[in-house]
């Protein structure tokens, strides 16, 4: 029983520090029913969760199955300071109102995966906000600059002449202090958080709370491009609240290679099952597209439901495999004749008329399934089906 739980917990992890402690905690749970706390921090600046986040959430859910209580830490304090990274980013200070709103949408999304009854939502503003300057200095004295510069991203930025604000040095300390205050048994984060996570361990020791958290690091999920990490700003993400059709399509658009990575980190299938699929594909017994479809179905079902997911698949086949027109297209209308390039911009299919003209010249624009090559075309009254590239559709009614 314990072995099975351990195996499941270890799955997909990039690194675990102090695995013995995890084992002890599980033992205590299975033998004496003792629960333990698992901390994970979330920054309420971006209200949209994507699959990159769910890797972490799914791991938390696993802990919930085996006696873990989740400390769902909202970085409400750190968010009000703003993260002054890079030279181009202006300090973004969130109002308390925004934070509350973001947290709302954050948690509703998170509870699609987490068990609410085993989750405690905590805000670090509650304790960090009360610290005095003296407390802060005392905290800061635990860390040397040299040590701070060991951190990979800091040293990289330092070497490449990118600004590092002093407040950024405070981040790991504050995050580590959260673990002291919460007396966490385990903390989970991405591999990029290693330094911060370890800071929690160190500070727990310094502040003498008689335990040191185990640290579990999840790999960073690659985005749709398969290279960079999934993030909203890079636009290579699958959002938790994406439409079923989008979600399904996005999963299918990943490369075959990346698919296995997604399987490991996102699927509920056991590692053995996945290995079987993988060898079947390799032997040519299974078409990779079929396997990918199953993955897409599983993921879409998780965030919507089975029926909707199935519909998404049907719709997808219709549009792409058979290159028919999707059933749900946004509609626009306008008065009088309209220049084609302008029309495409108005229908939000192109960012500028210049871009529209370029696409037209390259044969990327279709009206009613027919390629348009004349970039000066005027549309007189009537109804048109506009298409840019393979995916963008819109209906336009000219009055």
Partner RNA sequence: GGUGGGAUAGUCAAGUGGCCAACGACGGCAGACUGUAAAUCUGCUCCCUAUGGGUUCAGAGGUUCGACUCCUCUUCCCACCA
Q: Contact between 170 and RNA (CB under 7 A)?
A: no
List strand residue ranges (DSSP E) for 173-289, in order: 186-190, 214-218
Count of Cβ atoms closer than 10 Å to residue 22 Cβ: 25
For 35, what's the count of Cα atoms within 13 Å in the CB-facing half-sphere?
Answer: 12
Contacting RNA within 227-256 (CB under 7 A): 236, 248-250, 252-256
Instruction: Tell which one of 388, 394, 396, 398 touches RNA (CB under 7 A).
Output: 388
- Tokens representing 17 are 């520090």
The residue among 129 and 326 lying less far from RNA, judged by its C-beta, is: 326
3-state SS, residue 40: strand
Stretch that binds RNA, among 180-188, 297-305, 327-335, 356-364 (CB under 7 A): 356-364
Q: Contact between 82 and RNA (CB under 7 A)?
A: no
Tell me the C-alpha distance between 213 and 229, whole Å: 27
Q: Contact between 93 and RNA (CB under 7 A)?
A: no
Q: Contact between 321 and RNA (CB under 7 A)?
A: yes
Cβ burial, residue 164 (10 Å; 0-12/13-18/19+): middle
CB of 314 to RNA, least distance (A): 13
Tell me the C-alpha distance between 137 and 298, whole Å: 49
Stretch that binds RNA, among 175-183, 187-195, 202-210, 286-294 (CB under 7 A): 286-294
Using an 8 Å Cβ cutoff, are 340 and 356 in contact?
A: yes
- Tokens representing 365 are 């624009």
Q: Contact between 351 and RNA (CB under 7 A)?
A: yes
Instruction: Tell which one of 28, 345, 367, 385 touches RNA (CB under 7 A).
Output: 345
The residue among 46 and 149 lying less far from RNA, judged by its C-beta, is: 149
Of 236, 245, 247, residue with least CA distance to 329: 245
Q: Contact between 171 and RNA (CB under 7 A)?
A: no
Positions touching RNA (CB under 7 A) are 87-88, 158, 161-164, 225, 236, 248-250, 252-257, 288-289, 292, 316, 320-321, 338-339, 341-342, 345, 351-355, 357-359, 362-364, 376, 378, 388-392
């Amino acid at each position: 029983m314990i072995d099975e739980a351990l195996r499941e917990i270890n799955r997909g992890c990039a690194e675990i520090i102090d695995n013995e402690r995890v084992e002890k905690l599980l033992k205590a749970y299975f033998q004496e029913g003792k629960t333990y706390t698992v901390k994970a921090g979330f920054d309420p600046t971006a209200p949209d969760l994507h699959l990159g986040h769910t890797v972490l959430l799914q791991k938390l859910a696993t802990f919930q199955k085996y006696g873990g209580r989740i400390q769902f830490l909202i970085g409400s304090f750190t968010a009000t300071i703003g993260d002054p990274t890079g030279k181009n980013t202006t300090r973004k200070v969130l109002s308390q109102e925004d934070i509350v709103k973001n947290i709302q949408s954050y948690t509703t999304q998170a509870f699609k995966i987490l068990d609410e009854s085993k989750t405690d939502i905590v805000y670090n503003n509650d304790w960090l906000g009360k610290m005095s300057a003296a407390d802060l200095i005392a905290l800061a004295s635990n860390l040397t600059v040299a040590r701070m510069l060991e951190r990979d991203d800091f040293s990289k930025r330092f070497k490449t002449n990118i600004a590092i604000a002093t407040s950024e040095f405070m981040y790991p300390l504050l995050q580590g202090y959260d673990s002291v205050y919460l007396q966490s048994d385990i903390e989970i984060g991405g591999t990029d958080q290693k330094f911060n996570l370890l800071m929690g361990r160190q500070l727990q020791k310094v502040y003498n709370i008689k335990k040191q958290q185990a640290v579990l690091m999840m790999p960073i999920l690659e985005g749709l491009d398969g290279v960079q990490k999934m993030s909203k700003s890079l636009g290579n993400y699958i959002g938790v609240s994406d439409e079923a059709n989008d979600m399904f399509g996005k999963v299918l658009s990943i490369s075959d290679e990346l698919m296995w990575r997604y399987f490991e980190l996102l699927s509920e299938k056991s590692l053995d099952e996945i290995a079987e699929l993988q060898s079947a594909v390799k032997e040519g017994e299974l078409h990779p597209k079929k396997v990918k479809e199953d993955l897409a179905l599983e993921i879409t079902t998780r965030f919507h439901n089975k029926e909707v997911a199935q519909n998404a698949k049907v719709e997808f086949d219709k549009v792409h495999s058979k290159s028919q027109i999707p059933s749900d297209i946004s509609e626009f209308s306008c008065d009088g004749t309209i220049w084609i390039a302008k029309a495409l911009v108005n229908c939000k299919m192109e960012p500028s008329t210049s871009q529209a003209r370029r696409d037209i010249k390259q044969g990327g624009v279709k009206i009613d399934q027919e390629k348009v090559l004349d970039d000066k075309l005027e549309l007189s009254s009537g109804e048109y089906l506009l298409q840019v590239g393979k995916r963008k559709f819109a209906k336009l009614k000219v009055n």
